Structure 1
Amino acid sequence: MAKKNLTLVTEFLLIAFTDYPERALPLFLLFLFIYLITLLGNLGMIILIHVDHRLHTPMYFLLSHLSFMDICYSSVTVPQMMAVLLELGATLSYTCCAAQFFLFTFFGSIDCYLLALMAYDRYVAVCQPLLYATIMTQKACLCSVAGAYIAGLLSALVRTVAAFTLSFCGTNEIDFIFCDLPPLLKLTCGDSYTQEVVIIVFAIFVIPACLVVILVSYLFIIVAIMRIPSAGGRAKTFSTCTSHLTAVSLFFGTLIFMYLRDNSGQSSEEDRVVSVFYTTVIPMLNPLIYSLRNKEVKEALRKILNRAKLF
Structure 2
Amino acid sequence: MSIPARPFVSYHLWSLVAPKKGQEQWHCQMRRGFIKAKQREPEVKALLAKATPPQRIGILAQKGVYEFHRHLHWLTQSDGVEKVAQLLKLSNFTFQVKQRVLKILQKYQKSPLLLNKCILQLTPGDEGFPKPIVIDKGNYRFRLYAAMDCVFIDSDNTLHILDFKTGKSAFDKRQALVYLLAARYLYPGKNAVASFYNLEVGQKSELITINSHELTSLEFELANVANKHQLDLQKYADQDSNFSQIFPPNPGNHCRFCPFNSICEFSALKPTKSYSAPIIRNS
Is the pair's TM-score, using the shorter chain for normalization, greater than 0.5? Answer: no
Give the number of the structure whose residues are more often strand, by fraction. 2
- Normalised to the residue count of structure 1, the TM-score between the two structures is 0.27
Q: TM-score, normalised by structure 2?
A: 0.29
Q: Which has the higher helix share?
A: 1
Structure of greater relative contact order (alpha carbons < 8 Å, 6+ residues apart)? 1
